[in-house]
Structure 1
Amino acid sequence: MVELIAESMEQTGYFNTTVETYEWNTYVGRVLDPEYQNNGYVPCIGLSGTFNPGSFCNALHHSDNVGQCCNLNGINDSELDDLMDSARYGVEVAEDAELRAERYDEVWNYLADERYSSITHFNLATSVSNTDLHGFEMWPFQEGMYSYNMFAPQDEQIMWVDRENAAGDSDLSDLSEGGTLSLAVGANIESFDPPHSTDTTSTLAQGFIYEGLTANDAQGNVYPWLAESYELRDTQDIDRTAYADYMSTVGTTEEGAIDTDEQVVVPHPEDNPAEDDEVRVLLPDDAAEAVEDGTYGMQYRYNLQEGVEFHNGDELTAEDVVATFEYVENSDISAQTFDSLLTAVQVDEYTVDLYAQVADAEAERELPSPLILNATQIEEVEKGNIDPREGNTPIGTGPYEFSEFEDAQYYEVTKFDNYWTEQKGVSEAFSWFDGSSDFPDGPVIDGFEVEIVPDDSTRSGALQNGEIDSTYGINTSTLDDFDSSEEFLVYSVETGGYEYIQYPVNVAPFDDARLRQAINHLIPRERIVENVFSGYGRPAWTPIPQLAQGSGTADAEALEEELRPMNEYNVERAEELLEQVAADN
């Protein structure tokens, strides 16, 4: 894909391009380096969002995410920040879905004009399994593919292994318990510590072990999970200046960063660390004080399931939940956690209140998003070190417990004997469950063996040779062969993710929007989908995938009609823009 784009740029006569490639984990570390934004490179990488439209613009473009997640090249645009915030925050958009959608349309149009990033295509996630794997369905987020399939009562989704009967039109009456499923993933597991990792493979591996307060179905509806129930108790119409009286004053660095080792929960909107020697910020203790005085945007109450056991035998309590949110501070996911979260407060042993800074249209899904960790383990390890390579076995409440890991080779988990839903039964555990009485009370597979095989063709060969049962992300050129074979099943779904390139906007000449627009017109999106991905994808004429369109645009068809001409392959228009840039330089 990158070579096609580079070739297209070269053919205009305005560019000399060089493509550099790296092993995946090396590449991730490289592009997330804070210095990367100053070197003038154009990175190509993927984004996996959520069901919320904000995840498809904030992660790439919001100033708060510089150096985290996917804002790789230091995009810092206060006008854009305000547009994104106005589409997500405030009582108006929290209560009016139509207004929220209209404001997101303003964001998409602004991004089309400024062209900080070029999205090439929406991914079509694919998975291939042999016919021993039954009941499998695609999940629109790759990192949750196997955790969703192993047990999702919200969709009555369960997979099982049956090596005597071939998968096809299997249903719950055919379910077979036991067995071990062998999988292959395409990258090493960088960390078993959820707040201190953001790569897809690590999140996939963590999904066997950890769980969250809530869960989503395939349509994005939110269900209580480790929380037996939850409710929105209060909403207040305030903005972030309401915290001024609680804020601490801290210094700034020569580079224009806030100089504190503590988590900045809320920076004062009127202060600028790039210009001011001192700025006002709300730190965690300040946030707790504000809540005590009744200053907050939203209050959600989560009543925890009782009797949930961690893999070390501890019972899940509110202490674990609060400790988890404190552990998130200054982690790899702190930016997307503290863009909404104010603080977490223990009410009693099984009750936690989560407070949002301001009214947030995405709070129901975003506030409880971190996976819940064990408070005892948190006390015993340094941040980021919940990992067997550091001598620390990861401990969660999930249906599988850590068994073995050989770095860059394989990973194994085994079924947890005291998994809480099996102790309670799904009908008792989940008041919302109204599914079949045949649906099991927990996963039915005894264990998972996860082979780490970076090379696509090697994973494909391992599947063909019967060495593994399932894998994903293999070369699309081989999918048709698998699809035509009676020995394999190919699954696919448009995902909540896409591939993109991001321009180094702080480095000339990429600080000129016309140059970025020109390159965008040189991206052969349709050729990329058809020739590189063999049709397993969809050209990105807008920045928002189908699964987030419900709350992310007032009219998806109208938005595509408006933005598609700005994203189509158009060499003539690109050369016009390049001539303008050249004339001014």
Structure 2
Amino acid sequence: MVQDHKQSSIDVDRRRLLQGAGGVSIAAVAGCLGGDNGDEDAPIHVRLEVNSDNDDRVQMIDLISNSLEESGYFTTEIETYEFNDYTQRVMDPDYAENGYVPCIGLSGTFNPESFCQALHHSDNIGQCCNLNGISDDELDQMMDDARYGIDVADDDEERRERYDEIWEYLAEERYSSITHFDLQAGVMNTDVHGFRQNPFTESTFEYGLYAPQDEVVTWIDEDAHPDETDLSDLEEGGTLRAGLTEDPELFDPPYTTGANSTIVQVLIFEQLVVSDSEGNLYPWLAEDYELVESQDIDRTDYEEYMIEVDADEEGVLDTDEQVVVTHPEDSPIEDDTVRVLTPEQAGEAVEDGTFGMQFQYDLHEGIEFTNGEELTAEHVVATAERYENSDLEAQTYDSLLYAEEVDEYTVNLYAQIPDAEAERELPGLYIHSLEQADLEGGELDPDAGNEPIGTGPYELSEYEETQYIEYTKNDDYWLEELGLESKEWFDGSEEFPDGPVIDELEFEIVPDDSSRAGALQSDEIDMTYGLATDVLDDFEEDDDYVIDSVEAGGYEYIQYPMHVEPWDDERLRQAVNHLIPREEIVDNVLNGWARPAWTDLPELAEENGTTDAEALEEDIRPRNEYDPETAAELLEEVIDDYDLE
């Protein structure tokens, strides 16, 4: 039962909050958090948590807090944390037992499953964005059915129909409340030319600096305005100075889940494929790839290869091996022993021809890591092994069965069962050098004495924790050696370069939005992103700056504590959802730099995620609109049933 805390228990650190919030939002935040936090006699207490260094998010939570209190049914408190501390806090599996309502942002992919699975699939408890321990067997099965199996792998329409059922289910159960779809906005001075914003935060610089799949390349020119130049005016060399929103947690790809870490990793590490801004895939480290075979099997077909392992009362399995497949009929929570497939047995199954899908990748010959190693199939296999039992195991081994070296430059990646998203998910590994593939988790980091080694266009030259990161161009970058003519899919301009043209990158780590904006205005940096929307309006009106924006592949959300009464009652969650003023958040907090989330599906994932986007919104929007009267009706029922008065 949620306790009815009194006002004296409110522990908002107001000074820290106002320091974390930029100057543009201090007045708005101070006006609310400094006063009374609702009627002490209100029956339900809510503790909202948020990272203090995101001005817009803090204001949004404050607005939601006020809305809850104005209903007369809630008292609220707001607790704030610095971003890295906050993400570690909410990703802890034990966080689900606290009864708190966290706010955070999710960056997905072009696949619709990333906008429901990460938040709601029980495999992601403590792994990704399932912050409050949602574990719903029926929903897990629905998500699996929309992604896995020969019927959805071969039939896009069937897949879309199943996702429509998921959005309907989530609207009814309301485990999370998605508030809005962000806009990704890069702000730069007029020295920066050619930059284009990617829908995903983690690809901000990787994509903006060089993306031949969309003919994007950034260069520095101090003598002309970006509106007056095109590719024919490209200048090589120079330094790009940029402001980062956070210090990276690690430079170790399998052991970080935050976008702020990925932003700095992907300048060094690369994948077998690359995506354009519309989600189309192109071979990258791979010269080409193909789906060789797809077989109509399910996970029970691995039964003869499985071994038994013990499970304790909390469902923890007694094995140090990566669990690739768990027998669908076994439950780690309910059974003392569980049948599982580990990588060794997965290899045996593949050898016998038991697998869901086989993709074959032919690697470019002559690609070198910055330590001189030549990329081979062995590197891909070693990388897959390093992802075992990592922080990304749930996302990696939800599809991957086995990585197999065929010959020096050919590798097979096998999916466990037919998977509609395997083409994108299987090659989602950032390829390691053999020198670093055996490092312990978290050890691939300069703080551990290991400078990251990759195949990417830049090398880490200097890193001062919480202060700055500097890169220099990889003079032996493989694409410049092979030439874009090695990419059969490239049909762009002959003037387009064979690699990025900027020589040096200097990233200043400035978490505070207003300080980052000030650094841009005082010419300490050339560009940044993630600014508070009040500031974006100012930059948009100034001819000395350019803004490039696109609807993001992500959103903001709050998630309800399913393991604490009365939050396990969907009526309470539905009621709170009706008290979230989405339009007011977008108009008054975000100044129009966002779109209200009437459904859980961003525009970029609509093609595969719904049969009819307009019909989906028409159906679900009424359940997400601000509606205090409906909220009050639901809350009265909850209060009566739980005797909360």
Describe the SS at the equivalent of 1:17.
strand
1:450: which partner in 2?
Answer: 507
| CA distance, structure 2, for counterparts of residue 376 and residue 289 of structure 1 | 27
Task: Answer yes or no: is 1:509 the counterpart of 2:566.
Answer: yes
Aligned residues: 583
Specify the code of the residue in structure 2 equivalent to 1:72: L
Compute the displacement of 1:274 (Å): 1.1
Aligned partner of 2:358 among 295, 299, 313? 299
2:454: which partner in 1?
Answer: 396
| CA distance, structure 2, for counterparts of residue 512 and residue 282 of structure 1 | 36
Compute the displacement of 1:255 (Å): 1.4
2:279: which partner in 1?
Answer: 220
1:139-218 equivalences under 5 Å are 139-218=198-277
Runs (4+) off by over 6 Å: none
1:27: which partner in 2?
Answer: 86
| CA distance, structure 2, for counterparts of residue 169 and residue 530 of structure 1 | 33
Specify the code of the residue in structure 1 equivalent to 2:464: E
1:365-444 equivalences under 5 Å are 365-379=424-438, 381-428=439-486, 430-444=487-501
| CA distance, structure 1, for counterparts of residue 452 and residue 593 of structure 2 | 36
Compute the displacement of 1:257 (Å): 2.7
Compute the displacement of 1:253 (Å): 1.7
Task: Answer yes or no: is 1:584 the counterpart of 2:638.
Answer: no
Superposition RMSD in Å: 0.8
Task: Answer yes or no: is 1:328 the counterpart of 2:354.
Answer: no
| CA distance, structure 2, for counterparts of residue 274 and residue 484 of structure 1 | 58
Describe the SS at the equivalent of 1:395.
coil
1:140-165 deviation line (CA, Å, top 9, x unaligned): 00110110111111111111011122
Describe the SS at the equivalent of 1:578.
helix
State the TM-score, normalized to the length of structure 2: 0.90
Task: Answer yes or no: is 1:260 the counterpart of 2:329.
Answer: no
Specify the code of the residue in structure 2 equivalent to 1:414: T
| CA distance, structure 2, for counterparts of residue 514 and residue 375 of structure 1 | 53
Task: Answer yes or no: is 1:488 the counterpart of 2:565.
Answer: no
| CA distance, structure 1, for counterparts of residue 382 and residue 75 of structure 2 | 51
Describe the SS at the equivalent of 1:35.
helix
Specify the code of the residue in structure 1 equivalent to 2:314: E
| CA distance, structure 2, for counterparts of residue 479 and residue 12 of structure 1 | 32
1:102: which partner in 2?
Answer: 161
Q: Between 166-175 and 538-547, report the one with greater CA deviation.
A: 166-175
Compute the displacement of 1:260 (Å): 2.1
1:376-405 deviation line (CA, Å, top 9, x unaligned): 2123x2222100000000000000011000
Describe the SS at the equivalent of 2:304.
helix
| CA distance, structure 1, for counterparts of residue 141 and residue 338 of structure 2 | 20
Describe the SS at the equivalent of 2:216.
coil
1:220-299 equivalences under 5 Å are 220-299=279-358
Identity of aligned residues (%): 62
1:251-281 deviation line (CA, Å, top 9, x unaligned): 1122123232221111111111111111111
Compute the displacement of 1:167 (Å): 1.4
Describe the SS at the equivalent of 2:450.
coil
Specify the code of the residue in structure 2 equivalent to 1:105: D
Compute the displacement of 1:166 (Å): 1.9
| CA distance, structure 2, for counterparts of residue 63 and residue 200 of structure 1 | 22
| CA distance, structure 2, for counterparts of residue 54 and residue 234 of structure 1 | 23
Specify the code of the residue in structure 2 equivalent to 1:400: Y
| CA distance, structure 2, for counterparts of residue 402 and residue 53 of structure 1 | 34
1:52-71 equivalences under 5 Å are 52-71=111-130
Q: Which has the higher contact order (CA 8 A, sep 6+)?
A: 1
Compute the displacement of 1:207 (Å): 1.4
Describe the SS at the equivalent of 2:185.
strand
Compute the displacement of 1:479 (Å): 1.1
1:14-58 deviation line (CA, Å, top 9, x unaligned): 211110000000000100111101110111000000000010000
2:24: which partner in 1?
Answer: none
| CA distance, structure 2, for counterparts of residue 226 and residue 96 of structure 1 | 29
| CA distance, structure 2, for counterparts of residue 434 and residue 148 of structure 1 | 18
2:614: which partner in 1?
Answer: 557
Aligned partner of 2:576 among 506, 519, 526? 519
1:575: which partner in 2?
Answer: 632
Describe the SS at the equivalent of 2:80.
coil
| CA distance, structure 1, for counterparts of residue 437 and residue 399 of structure 2 | 23
| CA distance, structure 1, for counterparts of residue 126 and residue 258 of structure 2 | 15
1:539: which partner in 2?
Answer: 596
Describe the SS at the equivalent of 1:572.
helix
1:318-353 deviation line (CA, Å, top 9, x unaligned): 111000000001111110111110010000111100
Describe the SS at the equivalent of 1:21.
strand
1:410-465 deviation line (CA, Å, top 9, x unaligned): 0011001110110111012x111111110001100001000000110000000000
2:623: which partner in 1?
Answer: 566
Compute the displacement of 1:169 (Å): 3.9
1:339-354 equivalences under 5 Å are 339-354=398-413
1:181-216 deviation line (CA, Å, top 9, x unaligned): 000011111110011001111100011111100000
Aligned partner of 2:176 among 98, 114, 117? 117
| CA distance, structure 2, for counterparts of residue 246 and residue 311 of structure 1 | 40
Describe the SS at the equivalent of 1:365.
helix
Describe the SS at the equivalent of 2:226.
coil
Describe the SS at the equivalent of 2:260.
helix
2:421: which partner in 1?
Answer: 362
| CA distance, structure 1, for counterparts of residue 84 and residue 91 of structure 2 | 11
Task: Answer yes or no: is 1:131 the counterpart of 2:190.
Answer: yes
Compute the displacement of 1:13 (Å): 2.0
| CA distance, structure 1, for counterparts of residue 144 and residue 332 of structure 2 | 20
Compute the displacement of 1:575 (Å): 0.6
Compute the displacement of 1:511 (Å): 0.5
Specify the code of the residue in structure 2 equivalent to 1:476: T
1:500: which partner in 2?
Answer: 557
